[in-house]
Amino acid sequence: MRKILPGVGFALSLVLLSAGTTTLAGAQVVSRLSLEELAGSSDYIIHGVVSSVTADWNEEHTLIYTTIDIDLRDQFAGEPLGGALRLRQLGGTVDGIDQAVLPTLPGYVKGEEVLLFLRSVQGGQLVVSGLTQGKFTVRRDPRAVEARVTRDWVDGSLAPPASGTDPAGLVGYMEMIRAIRKIAGR
């Protein structure tokens, strides 16, 4: 059952304002970022594994938030975060109610290996830069020589790249890491 809950519009507007969106005929379109632009808008770039994904109501029982815990494997930019980090984003499923607030927020699965471009917002909370653009999934196949880096795109929600290299074109894990290190100066 899909249900629109009070307060979602306000929360959604805060997410969109912090994501660099434009309005076209009443619809929100997120600017597609090159890898350089994505890194430039990020305070942290990390590699980790999702250790848990849980969704809960807020205290008022009006909004659902999903909490994502990530065990860090490597960090390419930003002040050291330690061994783990926690992300919290609007939307999720609780009590059979699915609150899908914005289709361009990334989804997570326990055990998923990720490369994340993160930025700090109010109170030091971390959010993924560029909405879904800042989350890459590392896929390992024992038959392959190298892991592959992929990203879930939401058709129609992202504008064409502004400039530079489109990160979706970087599919080899080591190629992606080399690009990140070059941009981050490490």
pLDDT (mean) for 33-39: 89
DSSP state string for 87-154: EEEE-EEETTEEE---TTSPP--TT-EEEEEEEE-GGG-EEETTGGGGEEEEE--TTSSS-EEE----
Residues ≥6 apart with Cβ < 8 Å to 147: 138, 139, 140, 141, 172, 173
Q: What are phi and psi of 152, to 5 degrees?
A: -85, 120
The per-residue pLDDT for 108 is 93
Residues 32/159, Cβ–Cβ less than 8 Å: yes
Residues 145/16, Cβ–Cβ less than 8 Å: no
CA angle 87/92/96 to nearest 5° reads 150
Q: Which fold has domain 8-12+33-184?
A: OB fold (Dihydrolipoamide Acetyltransferase, E2P) (2.40.50)
The per-residue pLDDT for 123 is 84
**Range name among 16-20, 59-63, 95-99 with the lowest pLDDT average:** 16-20
Query: What single DSSP character describes residue 75?
Result: E
Please tell me the number of Cα atoms within 13 Å of 36 on its side-chain side: 6
pLDDT (mean) for 82-103: 87
CA distance 84 to 35: 24
Domain ranges of the chain: 8-12+33-184
Per-residue pLDDT reduced to its tens digit, 11-29: 443 444 444 444 444 455 5
CA distance 102 to 137: 20
Mode of pairing for the β-strands spanning 135-139 and 113-120: antiparallel
